[in-house]
Amino acid sequence: MNDRKKPTGPGASGLVLDEPLLWERGRPGRSGMSLVEAGTPPAALPPDLAGPGPAWPDLCEPEVVRHYTRLSTWNFGVDTGMYPLGSCTMKYNPKIHETLAALPGFAKAHPLLPEEAAQGALRLIHELEAFLAEIVGLEAASLQPAAGAHGELCGMLMIAAWHRHNGGRRGKVLIPDTAHGTNPASAAMCGFQEVKVPLGPAGRIETEAVARLMDDDTAGIMATNPNTLGLFEANLPEISRLVHERGGLVYADGANLNAIMGRIDLEKAGVDVVHYNLHKSMSTPHGGGGPGAGPVAVGKRLLPFLPGPRTVLRDGSYVWNRDLPLSIGRLHSFHGQFAVCLRAYAYILSLGREIRAASGLAVLAANYLQEKLKPAFDLPFDRRCMHECVFTDARQKKYGVTTLDLAKRLIDLGYHPPTIYFPLVVGGAMMIEPTENESKEDLDAFADALLQAASEAASDPDILRRAPVRSFAGRLDETAAARRPRLTGDMGKAGHA
């Protein structure tokens, strides 16, 4: 019997499959396919495409399959283990929703189908918009924005259109230090100048700071709630009242909706527009660059300005309403990222009003980790967090250990690191978002790994500074990798001229 102690975490060493580049593996004459002769002479290439072209490697089918299978074993994903990236909501999503998104009636429907041939898709769009509006307590929604930042842009375009319609144009927007990083760019693309709202002592927006900055040239405020510190903006109703009194509107960044789904009435909080990250909150596997979806919901003020066309139920059929004189127009080809929206529709239907429970469990998990970890790590704002908690490396710095060292050590201990050095308002930040799907045992194991790293920082800091040593590759020069990435293989190898 093998009495070797079993690791408590997911990072046990095992078979590590090395794999060269395809150019290094290929050999001339190998092939993974057999094509029938076309029977027609080859057409001459245009002059600008003529020439030898790249020397692609020749490979047989097993080599191709093994190459990509081996590469897949290097990957870490939410199906492998806990993915604690803060601000990203990298949560497990039910596989049944992938099956539904692939149903031929949806997946193969042409976007130019006439209305009578697309009733199922139009009904889904119509009902999902109503669901999304209800979840946050607003009037109506549009699925058109294709990603979170696109939703921000949509919201700010509507705010600008509202001001123009009401006889004025304002040039500034208030953006708190705790807002999401894309907010200033979205405002700037609509012609607004950013005015920073400083971080308050409790880690949230202070009403007094907004009062000092809000003037007749300010179009409104972009507030992330919960903010990027994982803290609830409890002053939002009072801030909204102040902004409205001075002729502005309130945009709420909903990227952190996972903490408040079904639990907040944004209309009562004074919000005029919010965007959703469906790929974070509602069942599309998130990561790898897309696809995403960033629908928006609005209150009464901005309802006429929603993107068009919009679905309506007329005489028992769903049709497009294009008679929208105040609409900001179309933002996206056809109507949003449909497969992402379909998954969100399935997610909402499967949970129903229990969507509140998902938010509650996400908040519970984050606060549980916060309490377990705060004896070992600096907690800049020691108050109840929402879906994520933010620590710093202040206690470890006295041993010469940084947040980056802690993150690299977690790799050796079998865990994907959390988000580091964000938000920027906290030095040496380590942002952890456990999400609602993690069990207590998994949360305990992750906390134990971080606590072990903190203990090692005090007793043997070189362990952390050398980490990772158990991964396929050691610590990389991340600056050089970003500035001088290797994007192709060596064309001179594998027998190619």
Single out the residue of 172, 240, 168, 231 nearest to residue 202, CA to CA.
Answer: 231
Whether 364 and 339 share a structural domain = no
In a domain, 32, yes or no: no
CB atoms under 10 Å from CB of 28, counted, come to 10
Does the pLDDT of residue 187 top 50, yes or no? yes
The secondary structure of 244-273 as a DSSP string is HHTT-EEEEEETTGGGTTTT--TTTTT-SE
Helix (H, G, I), strand (E, B) or coil at 193: strand
Within 13 Å and on the Cβ side, how many CA atoms surround 128? Answer: 32
Tens digit of each residue's pLDDT (9 = 90 or more) over 133-157: 999 999 999 999 999 999 999 999 9
What total number of domains does the chain contain? Answer: 2
Whether 422 and 371 share a structural domain = yes
CATH number for the domain spanning 204: value is: 3.40.640.10
Which positions ≥6 away from 4 have C-beta within 8 Å?
none
Among residues 327, 353, 379, which one ends one of the domains? 353
Residue 406 CA to residue 426 CA, distance in Å, equals 16
In a domain, 313, yes or no: yes
pLDDT value of residue 12: 63
The strand ranges marked E within 185-340 are: 193-197, 218-224, 249-254, 273-276, 296-298, 310-314, 317-321
In a domain, 190, yes or no: yes
pLDDT value of residue 497: 32
Among residues 305, 320, 353, which one ends one of the domains? 353
Strands 172-176 and 218-224: parallel
- Tell me the two tokens of residue 403: 């947040």
In a domain, 140, yes or no: yes
440, containing H or E segment: helix 440-459
Residue 203 CA to residue 227 CA, distance in Å, equals 9
Inter-axis angle of helices 338-351 and 355-373, nearest 10: 90
| Helix, strand, coil percent values for the chain (each to nearest 5) | 40, 10, 50
CA distances from 159 to 143, 147, 273 (A): 18, 18, 9
Tens digit of each residue's pLDDT (9 = 90 or more) over 222-237: 999 999 999 999 999 9
In a domain, 489, yes or no: no
N- to C-terminal Cα separation, the chain: 55
Q: Are 67 and 21 in contact (CB under 8 A)?
A: no
Whether 290 and 401 share a structural domain = no
Whether 381 and 476 share a structural domain = yes
Q: Reading across the β-sheet that carries 172-176, which strands appear in turn?
A: 140-142, 296-298, 273-276, 249-254, 218-224, 172-176, 193-197
State the average pLDDT for the chain.
91
pLDDT value of residue 478: 83
- Please give the average per-residue pLDDT across 476-494, as a whole number: 70
Whether 272 and 207 share a structural domain = yes
Single out the residue of 26, 16, 17, 18 nearest to residue 489, CA to CA.
Answer: 26
- What's the whole-model pTM score? 0.89
In a domain, 58, yes or no: no
- Tell me the two tokens of residue 315: 């005489």
Alpha helices in 310-439, H assignment, sequence order: 338-351, 355-373, 403-412
The secondary structure of 38-80 as a DSSP string is -SSPPPPPPGGG-S----PPP--HHHHHHHHHHHHHT---TTT
pLDDT value of residue 129: 97
Q: Are 299 and 274 in contact (CB under 8 A)?
A: no
Which positions ≥6 away from 141 have C-beta within 8 Å?
128, 129, 130, 132, 133, 295, 296, 297, 298, 306
Whether 449 and 460 share a structural domain = yes
Look at 332 and 12; give whichever has higher pLDDT. 332
pLDDT band at 52 (very low <50, low <70, confident <90, very high): confident
Does the pLDDT of residue 209 top 90, yes or no? yes
pLDDT value of residue 87: 87
Whether 360 and 347 share a structural domain = no
Among residues 319, 353, 387, which one ends one of the domains? 353
Tens digit of each residue's pLDDT (9 = 90 or more) over 383-419: 999 999 999 999 999 999 999 999 999 999 999 999 9
pLDDT value of residue 496: 33
Look at 404 and 52; give whichever has higher pLDDT. 404
pLDDT value of residue 153: 97
- Please give the average per-residue pLDDT across 42-50, as a whole number: 80
CATH number for the domain spanning 412: value is: 3.90.1150.10
Whether 239 and 144 share a structural domain = yes
Tens digit of each residue's pLDDT (9 = 90 or more) over 428-466: 999 999 999 999 999 999 999 999 999 999 999 999 999
Single out the residue of 291, 282, 312 nearest to residue 122, CA to CA.
Answer: 312
CA distances from 272 to 206, 221, 309, 369 (A): 20, 10, 20, 34
Whether 423 and 342 share a structural domain = no
pLDDT value of residue 13: 63
pLDDT value of residue 11: 64
pLDDT value of residue 2: 47
Whether 379 and 326 share a structural domain = no
- Please give the average per-residue pLDDT across 275-298, as a whole number: 87
Whether 296 and 235 share a structural domain = yes
Share of the chain above pLDDT 90, in %: 73
In a domain, 27, yes or no: no
Tens digit of each residue's pLDDT (9 = 90 or more) over 230-280: 999 999 999 999 999 999 999 999 999 999 999 999 999 999 999 999 999
Residue 172 CA to residue 182 CA, distance in Å, equals 16
Single out the residue of 151, 451, 131 nearest to residue 276, CA to CA.
Answer: 151
CA distances from 139 to 99, 144, 310, 470 (A): 31, 16, 14, 53
In a domain, 399, yes or no: yes
Q: Are 152 and 275 in contact (CB under 8 A)?
A: yes
How many residues are recorded in the chain?
A: 497
Peptide bond into 226 cis (omega under 30): yes
431, containing H or E segment: strand 429-432
Residue 475 CA to residue 467 CA, distance in Å, equals 7
Task: Give whichever of 169-178, 282-291, 328-337 has the largest mean pLDDT.
Answer: 169-178
pLDDT band at 335 (very low <50, low <70, confident <90, very high): confident
Q: Are 431 and 87 in contact (CB under 8 A)?
A: yes
Whether 227 and 141 share a structural domain = yes
Does the pLDDT of residue 112 top 50, yes or no? yes
Q: List the single range of 33-37, 312-316, 317-321 with lowest mean pLDDT.
A: 33-37
Domain that holds residue 417: 356-483
The pairs formed by 437-446 with CB atoms below 8 angstroms and a separation of 24 or more are 437/91, 437/92, 437/361, 438/82, 438/365, 440/368, 442/81, 442/82, 443/365, 443/368, 443/369, 443/372, 444/372, 445/8, 445/9, 445/10, 446/82, 446/84, 446/369, 446/415
pLDDT value of residue 344: 95
Look at 285 and 413; give whichever has higher pLDDT. 413
pLDDT value of residue 488: 63
Residue 260 CA to residue 202 CA, distance in Å, equals 20
